Amino acid sequence: MSTPAEFRPAASYRALTLATFAMAICFAVWVIFSIVGVKLQTELKFSQTAFGLLVATPILTGSISRLALGIWSELYGGKIVYSLLMLIVAGCAFLLPFASTYGMLIAIGLGLGLAGGSFSVGVVYVSAWFPKEKQGTALGLFGMGNAGAALTSFFAPMLLAAMDWRHAANVYGTVMLITAVLFFLLAQEDPLTRARRASGAKPAGLAERIAPLKNIQVWRFSTYYFLVFGGFIALTSWLPRYYMGVYHVELATAGMLAASFTFPTAAFRAVGGMLADRYGARRMMYISFSASLLCLFLLSYPATHYVIEGIRGPIPFTIAPSMAERAGVLFVLGFFMALGMAAVFKHIPTYYPQHVGAVGGVVGMIGGLGGFVLPIAFGFMNDAIGIWSSCFMLLFAVAGVSLLWMHFSVLALNRKLHPELKTETDLPELMQAVAAAEQARIAADAAAQAAAAAAAAARKASARKR
């Protein structure tokens, strides 16, 4: 039996490679203000809150554009939408050197933010090239394009050491332009778009495409993504400034430390996709949220001086995690965030195969909005309470709420779907497995009864003929 043309490995992995590379470049541009913004803050002398708003502005556009870009990708095909998107972003990067005020930076940042919408385009494009049983792994590999954010954390400080930030912006624009042209020339149209055009079938209307958004399940997925992806993007933008403020390191060192969180997080997303395929997406989300909660608790603790009144007098001691210790915990946090990101998107083509663009778009939009809201909140909390680790305190609260909501929502859903299962459990997959086994037994009994009835009817018919 031959493999369908659209699922042949050579064509599928070529499409996956091109889409992943394009998203990596888009993400590098998307978070450009995380490094360049530090120079701009020194030059224009604005507050921590204003800095948080600046790095968050591209995240806003990248988030709210995801729904529309996902739908357009289903309508017109991922190849053309991806190529046009990258051309627009390249133009905005070339405009950045002309910005001379904070307001102009914000306006251009809105245009640069469209680069973040590349994720929704890529999800539609990549998922069309793989069968359902391989989509978790494929989308996990595609998610490695998030490593583009680490490229900025690592290489942008080197660029700024060698040239003015305006020239660095032109470098970004040039790379984006070249990527757009290469993708358009080398990428093939996805199989679903080709088949639709060949048959002359009209694409589904807008109302049909957004119909799944009425399901509360879609919005629960969005909330989970707010933590794992929104937190990832927010920390990518914030960590260089955090390391400089807490440990007084140079921008280049801060960028490399931030990259030690960003790059592994993006790389581990592929691992998360494979684990979600093998063990189930929900189980991976439980592991992701629980481990993230522990890591964020450790990171939330600021350097603290204690004095205990001992028998022989005061006993002073200090708890002050070193830079290496914090970087190590952030590395672990990134790994479990990656598991969560892959697990969330494993659900989408499984539950909504005909609406990947719309559902993936809204999930990505809400997740991206986390990357917009959180840096502003980080800056506000720094200005208000003056504790650098307050960013991790906020994420700890978000992780706790997300874990509890997911857990109780899943338990309520299982009790509704399977009222015969009275015992609650912390592993809802077990409940589903028991229910599935019961349904299989009932189906087997029904099949056996039908076979027996058919055999009896055959015997009666044979007896009449005699």
Look at 212 and 122; give whichever has higher pLDDT. Answer: 122
Q: Is the pLDDT of residue 200 over 60?
A: yes
10 with 91, same domain: the answer is yes
Residues 395, 284, single domain; the answer is yes
1-30 mean pLDDT: 78
Whole-number pLDDT of residue 297: 92
Ranking 130-139, 278-287, 442-451 by mean pLDDT, the lowest is: 442-451
Assigned domain for 91 exists: yes
Point out the least confidently predicted range of 104-113, 257-266, 325-334, 397-406: 257-266
Neighbours of 92 (CB within 10 A): 24
Which of 379, 400, 417 is the C-terminal boundary of a domain?
Answer: 417
| Together in a domain, 118 and 145 | yes
Sorted by sequence, the CB contacts under 8 Å of residue 89 that are 6+ apart come out as 26, 29, 111, 112, 114, 115, 176
- The answer to which of 66-75, 173-182, 199-208 has the lowest mean pLDDT is 199-208
The mean per-residue pLDDT over the stretch 414-423 comes to: 61
> Residues near 458 by Cβ (< 8 Å), separated by ≥ 6?
none
Point out the least confidently predicted range of 138-142, 221-225, 290-294, 316-320: 316-320
Note whether 355 and 437 are same-domain residues.
Answer: no
pLDDT over 90 (residue 465): no
pLDDT at 421: 53
% of residues, the chain, pLDDT over 90: 18
Q: What integer pLDDT is reported at residue 420 of this predicted model?
A: 56
The predicted pLDDT at position 115 comes to 93
The model's pLDDT over 303-313, given as tens digits with 9 standing for 90+, comes to 778 788 878 88
pLDDT band (50, 70, 90) for residue 207: low
Number of domains in the chain: 2
Task: Give the end of a domain, one of 417, 438, 457.
Answer: 417
Q: How far apart are CA 225 and CA 410, in angstroms?
A: 16
Contacts of 242 (CB under 8 A, 6+ apart): 254, 388, 391
Task: Supply the pLDDT for residue 366.
Answer: 82
Q: Say yes or no: 312 and 459 in one domain.
A: no
One domain, residues 348 and 464? no
Residue from 118, 116, 117, 99 nearest 108 by CA: 99
The answer as to whether 202 is a domain residue is: no
Q: Do the domain assignments include residue 204?
A: no
| Mean pLDDT computed over 393-407 | 88
Cα–Cα dist 287/323, whole Å: 26
> What is residue 201's predicted lDDT score, i.e. its pLDDT?
66
Domain check: are 321 and 439 in the same one?
no
Q: In angstroms, rounded to a whole number, what is the distance separating the alpha carbons of residues 6 and 81? A: 20
Indicate whether 120 belongs to any domain.
Answer: yes
Q: Is the pLDDT of residue 4 over 50?
A: no
The whole-number pLDDT of residue 3 equals 38
State the pTM of this model. 0.68
Same domain, 426 and 405: no
- Cβ atoms of 255 and 156 closer than 8 Å: yes
Judge whether residue 422 has pLDDT over 60: no
State the Cα torsion 358-359-363-364 to the nearest 10°: -40
Mention every residue, 6+ apart, whose C-beta is less than 8 A from residue 366.
63, 219, 222, 223, 225, 226, 230
Inform me whether the pLDDT recorded for 340 exceeds 80: yes
pLDDT band for position 1 (cuts 50, 70, 90): very low
Contact by Cβ (8 Å): 425, 431 = yes
Same structural domain, 122 and 24: yes
How many Å separate Cα 85 from the centre of its chain? Answer: 19
CATH at 60? 1.20.1250.20
What would the mean pLDDT of 248-258 be, rounded to a whole number? Answer: 85
Q: What is the pLDDT of residue 432?
A: 56
56 closest CA partner among 116, 101, 146:
116
Q: 173 and 102, same structural domain?
A: yes
**Taking the C-alpha atoms of 185, 187, 192 and 197 in order, what is their torsion angle to the nearest 10 degrees?**
10
Crossing angle of helices 281-300 and 323-351, in 10° steps, is 160
Specify burial of residue 13 (Cβ count, 10 A radius: 0-12, 13-18, 19+): middle
Closest CA to 216 of 8, 70, 405: 405
Of 417, 433, 458, the one marking the end of a domain is: 417
12 and 30 fall within a common domain? yes
Q: What is the mean pLDDT of residues 384-389?
A: 85
| pLDDT: which is higher, 463 or 195 | 195
Whether residues 70 and 115 share a domain: the answer is yes
Domain range spanning residue 438? Answer: 420-466
Q: Give the mean pLDDT of the chain.
A: 81
Q: What is the pLDDT of residues 141-198, one digit of tens each?
A: 888 888 888 888 888 888 888 888 889 999 999 999 999 999 999 988 888 778 777 7
At residue 281 the predicted structure's pLDDT band, cuts being 50, 70 and 90, is: confident
CA–CA separation, 240 and 255 (whole Å) = 5
DSSP assignment, residue 203?
P
Could you tell me if residue 200 is inside a domain?
Answer: no
Query: What confidence score (pLDDT) does residue 224 get?
Result: 86
